[in-house]
Amino acid sequence: MTLKQNVDWNEIESLVNILSKKIKKLPRTFSTITTIGRGGLVPSRLLADRLGIEKILVDKNKISSDSLFVDDIFDTGDTFTNIIPKVDNPSKLVFATLFARRGKKYPSQLIYAKKTDNSAYVVFPWDRFEFKRSQN
């Protein structure tokens, strides 16, 4: 049986608030959010509301460093590794996530709300059916 860390909507709201405060403290603003279609859509929408950003770009082949990149979790680092070559200026990218996997090495571009409790699979409200399917 896989260890899991369930996250409910109340915790999501709290994490979005924490993350949006951190982003607002940055010495820059963002006109858009860029994300991936699976885990990043819901956090992107919630952050867009908090930050007053109206445009969310999904699954783009080219990513502007002026766009905030959002995902639900920094876990294996694969998403970051896959998107960094698509960014026009990788050193200026801000990669924002609700969670960062405890014990991993984080890129300097990462900003997150909270570290995971342990190595358990984080089950977000929007992927609980996917998690159940993966257990069969």
Of 96, 112, 98, 105, nearest to 5 by C-alpha is: 98
Q: Which of 3-7, 65-69, 94-98, 109-113 has the lowest mean pLDDT?
A: 3-7
Q: Is the pLDDT of residue 1 over 60?
A: no
pTM for the full model?
0.93
What are the CB-based long-range contacts (under 8 Å, 24+) for 19-27?
A: 19/47, 19/96, 19/97, 19/98, 19/111, 19/112, 19/113, 20/47, 20/50, 20/51, 22/111, 22/113, 23/47, 23/51, 23/68, 23/94, 23/96, 23/111, 24/51, 26/94, 26/111
Place 97 in a pLDDT band, splitting at 50, 70 and 90: very high
* Residue bearing the bigger pLDDT, 49 or 121: 49
Average pLDDT of every residue of the chain: 93
For residue 2, the model assigns a pLDDT of: 66
- Nearest partner of 34 among 64, 57, 60, judged by Cα: 57
* 8 Å CB contact between 131 and 105: no
Determine the pLDDT at residue 135: 72
Q: What is the pLDDT of residues 62-80, one digit of tens each?
A: 999 999 999 999 999 999 9
